[in-house]
Amino acid sequence: MKKKLSKNEKISLSMKGRTLSKEHKLKLSKAKLGKKRTDTTRAKIKSTALGDRVKLKVNHPLIPKSSKSRSHLTAIDVKQIRDRYSNEEAVSIRQLAEEYRVSRHTIHSIVTYRVWK
């Protein structure tokens, strides 16, 4: 006797192994442009994007900036970025990058402790 599948399970089975065309992907990305997400949704996205790889620390150590450094950020800036990203739900990497006038990659590297360890 077969188990009766729910609507979502049937859709999932029928979509298995299917790849989207480039045109379809383009239409999907255009449909999502300009949509605002709630703070709770953004917090969920942030936690899933980082996953288990990174455990956000509460007390971030201050690392002195060397005199020969070409960095645009000081140790205090880095501490503030980490504090704001881990404590404020509504702040994103993109917003922090614009505020501190650095790339999103730089902010992500700071938050995940790849730089300024």
Looking at the structure of the chain, the number of domains it has is: 1
Segment 29-43 mean pLDDT: 80
In this prediction, residue 52 has a pLDDT band, given cuts at 50, 70 and 90, of low
In-domain check, residue 116: no
Q: State yes or no: pLDDT of 34 exceeds 90.
A: no
Q: Can you give the pLDDT at residue 97?
A: 92
Specify the pLDDT at position 23.
93
Task: List the domain range (segments joined by +) for residue 74.
Answer: 7-111
Residue 35 has pLDDT above 90, yes or no: no
Is position 39 within any domain? yes
Contacts of 73 (CB under 8 A, 6+ apart): 81, 100, 102, 106, 110, 116
- 81 sits in which H/E element: helix 75-87
CA distances from 105 to 14, 43, 64, 79, 117 (A): 37, 19, 21, 17, 16
Give yes or no for residue 89 having a pLDDT over 80.
no
Query: What pLDDT, on the 0 to 100 scale, is given for residue 61?
Result: 58
- Contact assessment for residue 92 and residue 42, using Cβ atoms and an 8 Å cutoff: yes
The first and second tokens of residue 79, run together, are 């501490």
Q: What does pLDDT average to over the chain?
A: 79
